[in-house]
């Protein structure tokens, strides 16, 4: 069955791979599933056809036959549950990998998104200078224990899993801030994720869209 995802017609990051369709592309590449991409403009994202797929008018969405999904956590979990390669066979290890997906999205990603908001959306607000260091420290409060838990392991819990895929995707957004480099094992962890051939293919595909080479 053909899988179709949506992505920005032109990503605000110009193709750095930070738009969330990259996570979904990566998961599909890891399990070897071909997919199509429907590009949407910012205007189209808020129109009824797209809102029927994504109630919040965002990307990415995922369509497979009669199934339509939104939210990258739900989409990646769906892909991981239906194909081998992203979740362990052992039931307890599988539950832990899924827990890491939630940890990435619910615990680690929120302060990282706050940083994006402070820097980009509230860049001209009077509270920016006061708020920025607070938000940066909240990120460090999340990265410290994550760094301790990862230690010198390659991945968060044994073999690479959907938990790592989401965690690396979340941490990638931090690179430009320099905070990731304060935690060398996390920076190396992200680099390991980026070095995976499936990530490379996903990154190249989204870059091609954003450089007009598609
Ligand atoms: N929690 C959602 C977030 C989706 C999201 O914010 N997508 C961004 C692109 S990375 C977007 O579409 N932003 C434009 C908008 O929502 O209008 C997910 O993980 O899928």
Q: What is the pLDDT of residue 94?
A: 98
Which atom, in ligand 1's list, is nearest to the CA of 58?
12
> Which of 18, 51, 59, when mutated, tests ligand 1's pocket best, judged by the most ligand atoms within 8 Å of its CB?
59
Q: How confident is the model at residue 212 (pLDDT cuts 50, 70, 90)?
A: confident
- Report whether residue 71 contacts ligand 1, using a CB cutoff of 6 Å: yes
Compute the distance from residue 49 Cα to the ligand 1 centre, in Å: 17
Instruction: Compute and round to an integer the Cα radius of gyration of the chain.
Output: 17
96 C-alpha to center of ligand 1: Å?
A: 26
Ligand 1: distance of its center to the CA of 78 in Å?
18
pTM above 0.85, yes or no: yes
Would you say residue 213 has pLDDT above 90?
Answer: no
Beta bridge partners of 68: 63
Sheet of 36-40: strand order equals 36-40, 3-8, 61-64, 67-70
Nearest by Cα to 3 from 105, 78, 56: 78
With cut-offs at 50, 70 and 90, classify the pLDDT of residue 123. Answer: confident
Check pLDDT > 90 for residue 55: yes
Q: What is the pLDDT of residue 96?
A: 98
Rounded to the nearest angstrom, the distance between the alpha carbon of 92 and the centre of ligand 1 is: 31
Q: What is the pLDDT of residues 86-103, one digit of tens each?
A: 999 999 999 999 999 999
Task: Note the pLDDT of residue 14.
Answer: 93
For residue 31, count other CB atoms closer than 10 A to its CB: 15
The residues near 18 (Cβ < 8 Å, ≥ 6 apart) are 11, 172, 173
pLDDT value at residue 1: 87
Distance in angstroms (rounded) separating the CA atoms of residues 150 and 153: 6
Alpha helices in the chain (DSSP H): 21-31, 42-45, 48-51, 72-82, 91-102, 109-116, 128-150, 162-172, 184-195, 197-210
Ligand 1 centre and the CA of 61: distance in Å? Answer: 10
Average pLDDT over every residue of 123-152:
96
Kindly give the number of the ligand 1 atom that is closest to the alpha carbon of 19.
Answer: 10
Decide if pLDDT at 63 tops 90: yes
């Amino acid at each position: 069955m053909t899988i179709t995802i949506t992505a920005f017609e032109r990503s605000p990051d110009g193709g750095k791979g930070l738009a969330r369709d990259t996570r979904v592309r990566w998961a599909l590449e890891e399990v070897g599933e071909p997919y199509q991409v429907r590009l949407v403009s910012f205007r189209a994202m808020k129109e009824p056809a797209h809102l029927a797929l994504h109630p919040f008018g965002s990307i990415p969405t995922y369509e497979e036959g009669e199934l339509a999904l939104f939210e990258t956590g739900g989409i990646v979990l769906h892909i991981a549950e239906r194909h081998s390669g992203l979740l362990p066979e052992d039931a307890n290890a599988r539950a832990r990998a899924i827990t890491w997906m939630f940890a990435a999205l619910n615990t680690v990603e929120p302060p990282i998104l706050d940083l994006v908001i402070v820097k980009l959306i509230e860049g001209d607000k009077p509270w920016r200078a006061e708020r920025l260091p607070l938000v940066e420290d909240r990120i460090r409060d999340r990265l410290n224990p994550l760094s301790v838990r990862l230690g010198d392991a390659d991945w968060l819990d044994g073999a690479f899993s959907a938990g790592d895929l989401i965690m690396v995707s979340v941490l990638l957004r931090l690179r430009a801030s320099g905070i990731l480099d304060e935690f060398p094992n996390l920076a190396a962890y992200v680099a390991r994720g980026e070095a995976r051939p499936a990530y490379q293919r996903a990154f190249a595909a989204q870059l091609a869209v954003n450089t007009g080479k598609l």
